Chain A
Amino acid sequence: MIRLDKLSRKFQVGNQVVHALDEVDLEINTNDYVSIMGVSGSGKSTLLNILGLLDTPTSGDYILSGINTSKMDDDEMAGIRSAKIGFIFQSFHLIPRLTAFENIEMPMILSGISPNERSMKVDSALEKVGLTDRADHKPEQLSGGQRQRVAIARSIVMEPDVLLADEPTGNLDTTSGNEVVKLIEELNSAGLTLIVVTHDREMGERSNRLIELRDGKIINDQRKP
C-alpha cells in the first residue's frame, strides 16, 4: 500500500545540505507492523512525516494506495491525512483547553461530521482505549499514559488505514508504555497498518519488520519469518 521510489529529503542548513533521507526505496504492505530504528538524526522522523504527508520529499516519489502523492496540493494532502492517516506523537499533542472527549472529536469536527455521529464514535473510541470514565477530563488532569491513550483514540476515530507513531512511549514509564504498545498492537491485529519509530530495541523486535536507518539510508531491513 505504501511505496517509496528513490525518495530524498534534503535540508539546507546555512550553506550545508543535510540529506535527512537519501534515495530511499521502500514498500510496506497493508496491515503490516513496521518498526523504524536508528540513532538520533538518522532520518526516522523525517521518514514518518513524509509517510504522513506532513512533509514532502525533495525528489523521488511516494505512492500511497496506488496514488502518486507528489503532485498533490495542500488541501488534497489534508484530505488524505484526515481520511487515511492517524498520528501519534511522543508529546501527545492534545489541545489543553479541550476535554478528552473534545480532543478525540477534533478530527471529525474538522471533517464536518454531525454531533450525533461524533458522539457515538468518540464513545466507542474511548471504550477501546479504556477511558470512558475520563471523557470530561482536561489533559492536565490525566496521567501521561492516559494522555497517550486519548491521542490514540483521536488517531483512530476517522478509521484510518495507517497509524504512524513517532516514539509513542518516549515520554512514558515502562508500565504505561507497555499498555500503549499493547493497545496499538491490538489495533494492528484488527487490520490497521502500523508504523512505529522507536529507540527501544525491545519494542522494535516485537514488530513483524524492523527497518534501521543511518544517515538517511536504510541499512537493515529484516522481517520476522
Chain B
Amino acid sequence: MRLSDILFLGYTTLIRYPLRTIMLLIATSIGVMAVILLTAVGEGARDYITGEFRSLGTNLLIVSPGRNETSGGGVLDLAGLSPRPLTIEDAQSLFQIDNVRRIAPVVMGEAPAQYDGLERSAPIIGTTPEFLSIRQWEMESGSFLPGVSMRYSPPVCAIGKEIKSELFGDTTAVGEWIRIGDRRCRVAGVLAEEGRAIGIDVQKIVVIPVALGTALFNRDSLYRIIVDVRTTSRMDQTKQSILSIIKRRHQGKEDITVIKQDTVLQSFDNIFNVLTMALGSIASISLLVAGILIMNVMLVAVSQRQAEIGLLKAIGAKNKQINNLFVVEAIMLSGSGAIMGLILGHSITQVLKVAFPDFNFLPPMWASYVSLIVALISGIIFGLLPARRAAKLDPVEALSGNK
C-alpha cells in the first residue's frame, strides 16, 4: 500500500467525522499551545533577570571575604581560623593593578534615620562615589558622596526618594542634617528612582561614605569590594592579581572569593533554563491527556467501522495494513492538532509581546520541536492499541457487525 493512499484514506475519515476531528484537534493543540506559552514565559523571565544583571555591567569583579564552601573554607572554620576581615586598606591596595579602573568598597547594614522627630528604619550602604557610576544610578537632586579618600568619613549622605518623602515631605532635603544611628550627616542629594539594582530598593536606602559605615556598624570587615576593570579580556588576570595582593596582605592566606559578574549571570541563566524545561514538561502532560483521548476515540472508531474492516480483509487487506491505516489516522489527528497548537501558541506569543512590551516572551526553539514530537509519539503509542484491535478482528464476525 502506498503512503499517499494511506494518507488519503486517513484524510477521508477525518473529514467524514468532523466533530470528532475538531474535538481531538482542540485537545492536542491546547497541549502544544500550553508548552509554547509556558516556555515562552519561562524564557521571558530568564531574559528579564539576566538583562537586569547585564545592566550591572559584565566588566565587574566582586570580592567578598571568606572562601567558597567548594574551595575548602570549611577546613579553616573547623580549625577555628575565621577569615581575616576585608578592610578598606585592602580595597585601596587594589589600585596598584593596572587594569582596575574603579573600586567601590561596600558595607551594608540597617539603622534608624531621623529628622525633626520622624524616624524610619532604613537599609544603609556605606561606599565610595564610584558606586554611583558602577551601578549606573542617577541623582534626582543634589550630589552623591564627595570624592575624598576612602578612609576619611565626612558626615554626608545620599538618600532614596521614599526616605526623603517620609522624613521631609514636600520640603527640600538637600543641605539638611539627619541623624543615622548615633551619627549626624548632611543630605548631599536624593537618588532618582530609575536606578536598577538586584535585591535593593533604591527608593528606600541611605548611602554614606564607607568609612562612616564601618564606624556606624562597628564592623571591621567590608561586605564586598566591587572592582570595575578597564579591559574585559584581561578579567581573569586581574582576578589572579586581586587574589595574590590580598593573600600577601593576609599573611599568605587565600581567604577571599573573587567572582565575575558573568558567573552570577550564568548561574541565573542555568536556574531559569531548568525552570523553563520544568514548565515545558508540565505542559507536556496535557499532551498525554490528549493522547489518551485519541486512544478512546480510535477505539470507538474501530467498533464503529467493524464492517469496513471486515470488508477490507475480504478484499485482501493484510492485518499489518489495517493496523497501519488506524495508526496513521491517529498520527494525522495528533500531528495536525500539534501544528494547529504551534500556530496558535506562536500567534498568542506575538499578541502578548505587543500587550506587554517590557517583557520579552521568547518561546524557545526546542519547545516547538519537543511538543511536536511528543504529540506525534503519543499519536503512535495511543493509536497502537486501537489499531491492533482492528487488525485482529475476525473477518466473518467483523463483516456481520454494524454497518
Contacts and interface: CB of A to CB of B under 8 A. Distances in A.
Contact of A82 (B15, B311, B315): B315
Interface in B1-22: 1-2, 5, 9, 12-13, 15-16
Contacts of B403: 91, 93
A109 B12 contact: no
A88 to B, nearest CB: 10
Interface string B303-341: 000011011111111111100000000000000000000
**Dominant secondary structure of chain B at its interface with chain A:** helix
B18 to A, nearest CB: 12
A83 interface: yes
Contacts of A82: 315-316
Contacts, number: 69
Given A54-B313, A96-B16, 4 more contacts: A79-B316, A93-B403, A95-B311, A98-B12
B318 A78 contact: yes
A93 B316 contact: no
B321 A110 contact: yes
A97 B315 contact: no
A97 B320 CA distance: 22
Given A49-B396, A54-B396, A97 B314 contact: no
A55 B396 contact: yes
Interface residues of B, number: 26
B314 A54 contact: yes
Given A97-B16, A107-B316, A109-B1, A89 B399 contact: yes
A93 B401 CA distance: 11
Interface of B: 1-2, 5, 9, 12-13, 15-16, 307-308, 310-321, 395-396, 399, 403
Given A89-B399, A112-B2, A106 B319 contact: no
A111 interface: yes
Nearest to A155: B315
17 contacts: A54-B313, A54-B396, A74-B319, A75-B318, A75-B319, A78-B316, A79-B318, A81-B314, A82-B315, A83-B316, A87-B315, A93-B307, A93-B308, A93-B311, A93-B399, A109-B2, A110-B1
Contact of A54 (B1, B9, B318, B399): B399
A109 B318 CA distance: 12
A110 B399 contact: no
Contacts of B308: 93, 95
A52 interface: yes
